[in-house]
Structure 1
Amino acid sequence: MMKRKNRAPEFKAKVALEAILEEMTLSELSKKYGVHATQISTWKRAAIENMAATFGRRGPDPDMPSSADIAKLHSKIGQLVVERDFFAGASVQLLGTRGKKW
């Protein structure tokens, strides 16, 4: 029984690219690289399906705020709520019943 060969990703990409270009048939590529034609077809299909991911964005989405920004905004909201409640209570004490209650 023959031991299974693990191919490098660079090798797979090279063979898949040649299969996509279609300058040689699958059987010719199979003889050239010593890989079964079905395997070359699988690599070709995987390369075509994942090609869009190559041009996708890397890293965080620039439109999404970071967790630090969210935490900062939450603390600011808390501070404003406390200030609002404080001033609402103070206005009732100063103005009596004429003051608006939030």
Structure 2
Amino acid sequence: MDSLNLPEHREEQAKALASAVRMQILQWLKTPGAYFSEQTTGDPVRIGVCVTLITARLGMSQPTVSRHLELLKRAGFLSVQRIGKWSYYRRNEKALKEYRRWLGDAL
């Protein structure tokens, strides 16, 4: 443990949020219908958003975007659903709410 006395998972969560790109992804996925209405493979609110669309919106390479998504997923802030060969991401509202509660209590 470091000097902040954070459990390892909380530290990983804090690191996941320490990126403007990852924060932007979380913002977009908060209201995916507003940002990814062009998704034709299913309702982005119900199944999540295809990694291809997130990649296109960010204008980054797919491996770079996948790395950002993986860090958010490992922190518990995203869930992923595989449909065929595609991965669909959505926010884990329960985990985000718990992190906000914990952060408020810790500070």
Normalising to structure 1: TM-score of the pair?
Answer: 0.35
Higher strand share: 2
Whose RCO is larger (CA < 8 A, sep 6+)? Answer: 2
Higher helix share: 1
Normalising to structure 2: TM-score of the pair?
Answer: 0.34
